[in-house]
Amino acid sequence: MSLFKKSYDQDNSEYGRDAQLKKVLREVMHKDQKREWGLILKDEYGIVRANKSKSIKSRYRIMYKFAAAAAIISILVITGLSIYSNNKTPKSYALSYLESSQVLHPGVLKGISPEDQGQRLLAIKSFDEKLYEEAIQHFRSIESTNIEDEYYLSLALLYDGHYKESINSFQSIATKSDIYTQEINWFLSLALVLNNEHKEAITHLSMIKPNDWKYTETQHLIRLLSK
């Protein structure tokens, strides 16, 4: 026995039975109307309603393809970055550091003779403007140089690609003063790497302690040198 028949028989009121009949008739008419509109759309306009289950399956297939494509792209990107990282040499790392960073001169010290003051001002100006060749000439023209002059001359030589000269200059400063010890350990190591003196570079990098300047970069460079 259908649910409608059972419900209709149990409802003894005329109003209740009438309401149930109207509900059934509306549902039947609604289905018939939908069917008629479907036939009109199909016959006159060539429009056919897509099968719901097929549409859902189609959407899932599209989503799956997009997800798979995204996963493949992610794998390629990660692999590419890994290959790039693995192929990076100590020399390219040292060069990229020098190209991406700029050391600025703090300025002229007081109590400098007027003769040296002019050359020092020109040296500082050229150094801060990255005109390292000019800076080298002006630093070398200073008659009474101090440790700071020699340090920034060494940096100018390094930035300008005179690696062997910068190595000699940094090493000379290290025998005279410990004021730039941490900076010299780092920049001297870079100069040694760029001059293909890897063993000496590791020796100087190993002097940089956990609380020293550039310790994190030092560890990365040591790993590259140890491969």
Residues 63, 124 within the same domain:
no
Residues 142, 221 within the same domain:
yes
Residues 70, 130 within the same domain:
no
> Which residue's structure tokens are 């190209």?
99
pLDDT, tens only, 137-171? 999 999 889 999 999 999 999 999 999 999 999 99
In terms of C-beta density within 10 A (0-12 exposed, 13-18 middle, 19 or more buried), how is residue 46 classed?
exposed
pLDDT, tens only, 87-113? 589 999 999 999 888 899 988 665 555
Global pTM value: 0.61
Residues 28, 66 within the same domain:
no
Q: What pLDDT shows up at residue 34?
A: 57
Residues 27, 77 within the same domain:
no
User: 12: which 2 tokens?
Assistant: 């003894």
Backbone angles phi, psi at 212, to 5 degrees: -85, 165
Residues 115, 202 within the same domain:
yes
